[in-house]
Structures are given as C-alpha cells and as structure tokens.
Chains A and B, each alone.
Chain A
Amino acid sequence: EAGVAQSPRYKIIEKRQSVAFWCNPISGHATLYWYQQILGQGPKLLIQFQNNGVVDDSQLPKDRFSAERLKGVDSTLKIQPAKLEDSAVYLCASSLDWTSGGADTQYFGPGTRLTVL
C-alpha cells in the first residue's frame, strides 16, 4: 500500500514570496491533516479535512495561509506572502476516518522542509 506522498521535499524562497505544497493521502483515507513542525517541537495542526470539508482550521493563519481539498483526495497548502517565521517542516498526514473513534491512526508523509530567507 502506497504511503502519503508530498512534494516538493525542499523549498527555499525569499520572504514575501508565495509557495505551495501538495499532498496525496493514502487511498481510501477520508481525513487529511496539514501540520507545521518547527525544529525541537511537536507537530502543530494547521488544518484538518474530512473528505472535502474543513473540520478544524483554528490554528491556520488565514491572512497568509490557505488550503484546499477540492475533490476530497489531493490537497494543497499555500503560503502568500511568506515570512521568516514560516521556516519549518510542513507535514501532511491522513487517517481512515477521524469520526470512527479513538484508535484512528494518522500516517505521515515525508514532509516539505521550507526555508524562508
């Protein structure tokens, strides 16, 4: 079974530029998550989708970040304009169905390491 795919793996941009990340979840997984992870910290949830609907985007800086999952499969996360503090690893994860109960397990993609100069 293929895992969660993400691209690109690395990205270096100047501040105020825009950037987009792509994620393809495990086939059949209804729930998709985008996390931001800063070195030495745990993952911080940015947004959670159930199929093509948003479950939680309370920690998404909506003035600069946006995300979509239009057909309920692939997802993109965009930052526009980027700031220095956005330098982090952006992780995409998917799970079978978060409404199914406590044991629903998240599986992570390899992440995108973003450096903002």
Chain B
Amino acid sequence: GQNIDQPTEMTATEGAIVQINCTYQTSGFNGLFWYQQHAGEAPTFLSYNVLDGLEEKGRFSSFLSRSKGYSYLLLKELQMKDSASYLCAVRDSNYQLIWGAGTKLIIKP
C-alpha cells in the first residue's frame, strides 16, 4: 500500500528553527508537496520538490531525498503565525496525490 508518515505534533519556540520530517512509500514518485493549514482554514501551497536537494524560499526550505523516500520542511526564525498543521503529499506514478495526516506545529513564546 501507499503510505506517508509525519509526526503528529511538534512544539518549538518563537525565533527558533524546526524541522518537520516526512517519509513516504508510494507506487512511483512524481514530486512532493508541502502545504500549510491553519486551524479552520484551507491548505495553502508552500513548496514542490521533484529533484534531490534543498529548495529555499524565504524562511521556509524543503529538502528531498528520493533514494531514502524522505523529505523535510525547515522553518527558520519561527513566528507565532507559523502555528499550523503542515501536510506532506506525494504524487504517485498515476499522478495522484497521496496525503499525509499532517504535523501540528505549536509555537511557544
């Protein structure tokens, strides 16, 4: 079967750095997405990785290792507004998105 694993919940301090991991086992791979979802709101697109390596976008970076079936989202200089769930999704060989359950990130002052 197809599977996406993410930690259920993480806690970090304002101003710090946090890394949210995602491991996947899917039938084929055509890219990995990260979305942010604030409580009671819709997911919003953060990043897309299809090649190995690190993609940096402001305070957020996303890393991919296809050989290890692994990705992480790195958030720097954490702000209170970063408190949200972070969803990892993988596009499989049929170009369908397989979604993880999300990681709830709690930022403390």
The reply on A98 being an interface residue by CB < 8 A is: yes
Is A103 a contact of B50 with CB atoms below 8 Å?
A: yes
**Is the C-beta of B75 less than 8 angstroms from some C-beta in chain A?**
no
Proximity bits, A88-110, B CB within 8 Å = 1, else 0: 00010000001101111111111
Interface string of B75-109 (1 = CB under 8 A from A): 00000000000010101000111011110000000
Most B-side CB within 10 Å, residue of A41, A43, A104, A111:
A43
Q: Are A43 and B43 in contact (CB under 8 A)?
A: yes
> How many Å from the CB of B97 to the closest CB on chain A?
7
How many of chain B's residues touch chain A, expressed as a range? 20 to 34
Given contacts A40-B102, A113-B40, 14 further A-B contacts (CB under 8 A): A41-B102, A42-B4, A42-B89, A42-B99, A91-B42, A101-B95, A102-B95, A103-B31, A105-B33, A105-B45, A107-B45, A109-B42, A110-B41, A111-B42
